[in-house]
Amino acid sequence: MSRRFADALAVDMKVLLIGSSGIVGSGVARYFLDQSDRLIAVSRKRPDISGDGMEFCPIDLLENSSTERLVDLIDESLDGVIYNAGLLPARTSQPSFSDMCNVNVRGLEVLLNHIANHHPLLPVVHISGFTAMKTLPDINESLPYTNPNSYYTTKVFAELVCNQYRLSSELAISNLRISAPFGYDLSVPSVLPIFLKKALSNQDIVLQGSGTRQQTFTFSEDIGFACKKAIDVKFSGALNMTSDFRYTMHELAEKIVSSIDGCQSKIIFSGDTDPQEGAESFVDISKAKNQIGYYPLFSFETAIRRVVDVVRGVRL
């Protein structure tokens, strides 16, 4: 671990992070601040993190003047820009497709246009998603523009926008495609945060089916490290990246319980059918390793303990 962190400390940077709160942004922000980098953090609400190197700029990309305020933050002192802004559906709110396009696509396009015209040497990292870019098994009339998920559709649009600016300018734009991110925000209704919240409150973790569904997970601070590597080498193109965590649901629950000191949670099976029983996911990150020198920094146990310490109010 120490050698790897020494490698990660090689370059001090000043970075503009757009979308600095939430499950990905808060971890990316924490990673850069831990490396003594300077960070301009942009989001609607202040991230639950602070540091001497962070300047917070509250900007809501749904407001009319937001893009003008955003481009005003870009100057020659920056080493890179990370676009992690994302409006997505939640259990308590369902944003319109128009609003998702404004945040997930239009803000990115305005940013890239400004950088291409005024700061063409400034590298940009766009945080994308692996789910939006599944390999098509064949070609027929129903593919590829029949995605029923509006959020994934806007992420596809965003990647296409990035590609157009690569073709029409000299911009170095990285699309980091991540899979099942987790970090310090446990409000996201995905499997790992749900299991972790159960374990922290000593509630039983309930599994559907046989618990054999397998998935790859990505720690948000590993995403920060990948962003720094992509900026450092000015990479342009798409990269899959994830952490070294690929577990069945049963293994995931066992790992979480064993990683929390004093956890009394039990793992039980509901008897209900898992609609994704037996499904597996694998993300090949060999390109990220070869092209930008990325490697996962954190073991699963270390990542979980860091999250638990922050949730419990322990300063890292």
User: For 236-271, what is each residue's pLDDT tens digit?
Assistant: 999 999 999 999 999 999 999 999 989 999 999 999
* Token representation of residue 90: 């939640």
pLDDT in tens, 198-211: 999 999 999 999 99
| Whether residue 1 has pLDDT greater than 50 | no
| Whether residue 179 has pLDDT greater than 90 | no
Mean pLDDT across 282-301: 94
CA distances from 208 to 96, 273, 282 (A): 32, 6, 21
Q: How big is the CA angle at 307 (ends 215 and 210), to the nearest 5 degrees? A: 30
Confidence label for 314 from pLDDT (cuts 50, 70 and 90): low
Lowest mean pLDDT among 2-16, 169-183, 225-239, 293-307: 2-16
Specify the pLDDT at position 138. 55
Lowest mean pLDDT among 7-11, 105-109, 130-134, 263-267: 7-11
Look up the CATH superfamily of 2-185+218-243+282-298.
NAD(P)-binding Rossmann-like Domain (3.40.50.720)
Mean pLDDT across 221-238: 97
Contacts of 63 (CB under 8 A, 6+ apart): none
Specify the pLDDT at position 91. 61
User: Which of the two residues, 6 and 213, has the higher pLDDT score?
Assistant: 213
Mean pLDDT across 8-26: 84
Share of the chain above pLDDT 90, in %: 70
Q: Which amino acid is at 173?
A: I
Lowest mean pLDDT among 4-18, 146-160, 263-277, 293-307: 4-18
| Whether residue 132 has pLDDT greater than 70 | no
Mean pLDDT across 63-81: 94
Task: Name the DSSP letter for residue 211.
Answer: S
Average model confidence (pLDDT) for the chain?
88
Specify the pLDDT at position 133. 52
- The three-state secondary structure class of 267 is strand
255: left (phi over 0), alpha (psi -120 to 50) or beta: alpha
Q: How many C-beta atoms surround the C-beta of residue 163 within 10 A? A: 14
Specify the pLDDT at position 134. 52
Furthest-apart CA pair in the chain: how many Å? 59
Confidence label for 145 from pLDDT (cuts 50, 70 and 90): low
Reported as type and span, the H/E element at residue 192 is helix 191-200
